[in-house]
Structure 1
Amino acid sequence: MTPTLVRHHRHADPYADSSADSSAPVDAGTRARDWAEIQERMLAPLYEAVYDRLEVGAATRLLSLGCGSGLALLIAASRGARVTGVDTDRERLALARERLSPDPGHGAPPGRPAAERARLLVGGPSAAGGADEAEGSYNLLTSFDPIGCAAGDSEGLTPALESAVPLAARGATVVLTGWGPPERCATAAVLRVAARLADPSPTPRSGGWRAARRDDLEDVASRAGLRPDGSGRVSCPFGYADLKSALRGLLSTGLFDAALRATDRSRVEKEVAEALHPYQRPDGTVWMPNVFRYLVCVA
């Protein structure tokens, strides 16, 4: 299983210089790499639990919606699946291409070469078209970007699913994922800071944090015309080597963007750091237990 505690990173820390202009945004490339190197692996237990349950392997033809920097695709490809990923974030997608490209220094991966097993495309589901004719239609659609933490996120996923389902074979499996109950997710306390800084009004605007609801995934499935066929919960603790890594990882998620627009970066970092203090251990590491849900559906 992929470890969730990150102890080192290859690039310079964009948050290290407190004298820098706090209103200047971190560039998109740096933030994408923070996501790929620090934050994305926190969801690896979720990816693996879903793939174990569905017995993902050589017969799987997967379309991943919002594939990000490709860790979930890499895990599926390592099991022999033929994978396609779509995302509108070009920086994250570039990192996914790096991950899924064959590494001549380490020999070819098992089964098909990675370049033959993976397609990575900029855009929404329509960019994917149908699966390779020789392989048949997609038989698994996944949305691993967890819903249930931003106002409007569940409604926003419905159009993407409606575009993706016609690309899949009849009876294909669709997997939706979301945050678990707030009382089981320590990170919810930190996300409340983002909501308060972005919008102090009692009713959050679209994109602002809100607590996950019990039926978020079922509501999405119903709107998209999907039939639920099982569900599960997975422990996904967020673990960081230190406070600086935690800030970098959390701010790479996009969940703090509204707060960064409403105020300045130094204030967001300061208040998030304060919210993280109860989860910092004596050795400096930060550890926040969380639970995520997944819903298995039939198209």
Structure 2
Amino acid sequence: MTPTLVRHHLRQSGSSGSNDPSAPAGPCGRARDWAEIQERMLVPLYEAVYDRVGVGPTTRLLGLGCGSGLALLIAAARGAQVCGVDADEGRLDLARERLTPDSAREAGDGAARATLLACGSPERAAAPEGAFNLVTAFHPVGCVSSIEGLTASLVTAAGLAERGSPVVLGGWGPVERCATASVLRVAQRLADPLRTTGGWRPSGRDDLEDLADRAGLRPDGSGRVACPFGYGDLPSAVRGLLSTGLFDAALEVTEAAQVEKELSEALHPHQRPDGTVWMANVFRYLIART
């Protein structure tokens, strides 16, 4: 299993234009921070779901909000044929680095990459062979800017899958079992609700079931998975959490230095004597059927 504790990383100069780890990251830097620091925190969720639905050589997977492709990479390592879509081109570039064979990159095989990963909505996806037989939407429901948009994407994706295929939805577990919730409230408080949408909100008990119902899907099982967030030091924790996009609304209306200061203060109670930062969390998943 991929370790969830992330040791300190110096930001690469190509990501943000600076090797200073305290320098504010731009969109490219945050995409790199997501791939290098934050994305692996959800590996226990990915693996639990793949074990539950039996991902293997016969799986044709469509990942919605695939980010920088770690969940797809894990599925591909199990033999699955994978395809992903995401709205963030920066994260997709990193996914292409992970998922495109070295030989194809050297040959400049853009066509092969285009069939594997697409920027935008699910209709741009193409199943490697035939229809998909698994759809995943691991991005937590409480972290998307538009439930209507996510619902529409699920409806479209379900139409690309074989009838009866599992559609897996991911989300935060109960607030009282998610230590990171207290930290994410900083994003909620700093964001001006009159000027922004999106950001983080606490999860409701039936969020995933309600989303499945909106998309015309039939619930067929669920589970909970421990996903602790672990960082080598406080700067890495700040960078990792800022890379999630949950603080973007706050950054639109508050200076970056102020957001980072308040985020650091919220993280202090979770810092251990050795400098590492640990937060216990529980995530939920729902398996629905088309």
Instruction: Say whether the fold is shared (TM-score over 0.5).
Output: yes
The structure that is helix-richer by fraction is 2
Amino acid corresponding to residue 174 of structure 2 in structure 1: P
2:240 to 225, 244, 249: 249
Give per-residue Cα distances to partners, 1:126-184, cap 9 Å, x unaligned: 1014x24xx3210000001111246x643431011111111111111100000111111
Determine the structure 2 residue equivalent to 1:128.
Answer: 125
In structure 2, the gaps of 5 or more residues are 104-111
- In the TM superposition, 1:141-156 aligns within 5 A as 141-149=135-143, 153-156=146-149
Q: Does 1:220 align with 2:211?
A: yes
Question: Is residue 199–residue 245 contact of structure 2 (8 Å, CA) maintained in 1?
Answer: no
User: Aligned pairs, how many?
Assistant: 277
In structure 1, C-alpha distance between the alignment counterparts of 2:186 and 2:180, rounded to whole Å: 10
Question: Partner of 1:178: helix, strand, or coil?
Answer: strand
Q: Does 1:86 align with 2:82?
A: no
Determine the structure 2 residue equivalent to 1:76.
Answer: 75
Determine the structure 1 residue equivalent to 2:107.
Answer: none
Determine the structure 1 residue equivalent to 2:174.
Answer: 181
In structure 2, C-alpha distance between the alignment counterparts of 1:233 and 1:290, rounded to whole Å: 10
User: Could you say if the C-alpha distance between residues 61 and 240 of structure 1 is closer, same or farther in structure 2, counting changes exceeding 3 Å?
Assistant: same
User: Could you say if the C-alpha distance between residues 224 and 269 of structure 1 is closer, same or farther in structure 2, counting changes exceeding 3 Å?
Assistant: same
Amino acid corresponding to residue 175 of structure 1 in structure 2: V
Shift of 1:16: 4.2
- In the TM superposition, 1:79-118 aligns within 5 A as 79-103=78-102
In structure 1, C-alpha distance between the alignment counterparts of 2:117 and 2:21, rounded to whole Å: 35
Q: Does 1:166 align with 2:163?
A: no
Q: Percent identity?
A: 68
Shift of 1:197: 0.9
Question: Is residue 68–residue 96 contact of structure 1 (8 Å, CA) maintained in 2?
Answer: yes
Determine the structure 2 residue equivalent to 1:4.
Answer: 4
Shift of 1:6: 1.1
How large is the Cα RMSD of the aligned pairs?
Answer: 2.1
In structure 2, C-alpha distance between the alignment counterparts of 1:153 and 1:146, rounded to whole Å: 12
In structure 2, C-alpha distance between the alignment counterparts of 1:65 and 1:260, rounded to whole Å: 25
User: Could you say if the C-alpha distance between residues 225 and 16 of structure 1 is closer, same or farther in structure 2, counting changes exceeding 3 Å?
Assistant: same
Shift of 1:206: 2.9
TM-score of the superposed pair, with normalisation by structure 1: 0.87
Q: Does 1:284 align with 2:275?
A: yes
Give per-residue Cα distances to partners, 1:36-86, cap 9 Å, x unaligned: 000000000000000011110000000001110000000000000000001
In structure 2, C-alpha distance between the alignment counterparts of 1:156 and 1:188, rounded to whole Å: 24
Shift of 1:17: 7.2
In structure 1, C-alpha distance between the alignment counterparts of 2:81 and 2:21, rounded to whole Å: 43
In structure 2, C-alpha distance between the alignment counterparts of 1:280 and 1:211, rounded to whole Å: 23
Question: Is residue 155–residue 220 contact of structure 1 (8 Å, CA) maintained in 2?
Answer: no
- In the TM superposition, 1:21-60 aligns within 5 A as 26-60=25-59
Question: Is residue 10–residue 21 contact of structure 2 (8 Å, CA) maintained in 1?
Answer: no
Amino acid corresponding to residue 229 of structure 2 in structure 1: F
Question: Partner of 2:130: helix, strand, or coil?
Answer: coil
Determine the structure 2 residue equivalent to 1:297.
Answer: 288
Shift of 1:200: 6.8
In structure 2, C-alpha distance between the alignment counterparts of 1:233 and 1:199, rounded to whole Å: 32
User: Could you say if the C-alpha distance between residues 10 and 97 of structure 1 is closer, same or farther in structure 2, counting changes exceeding 3 Å?
Assistant: farther
In structure 1, the gaps of 5 or more residues are 105-114
In structure 2, C-alpha distance between the alignment counterparts of 1:227 and 1:103, rounded to whole Å: 40
Amino acid corresponding to residue 11 of structure 2 in structure 1: H
Shift of 1:30: 1.0
In structure 2, C-alpha distance between the alignment counterparts of 1:96 and 1:297, rounded to whole Å: 26
Shift of 1:102: 2.2
User: Could you say if the C-alpha distance between residues 264 and 165 of structure 1 is closer, same or farther in structure 2, counting changes exceeding 3 Å?
Assistant: same
Shift of 1:15: 9.0
Question: Is residue 60–residue 81 contact of structure 1 (8 Å, CA) maintained in 2?
Answer: yes
2:255 to 247, 261, 264: 264
User: Could you say if the C-alpha distance between residues 17 and 168 of structure 1 is closer, same or farther in structure 2, counting changes exceeding 3 Å?
Assistant: closer
Determine the structure 1 residue equivalent to 2:186.
Answer: 193
In structure 2, C-alpha distance between the alignment counterparts of 1:85 and 1:244, rounded to whole Å: 30
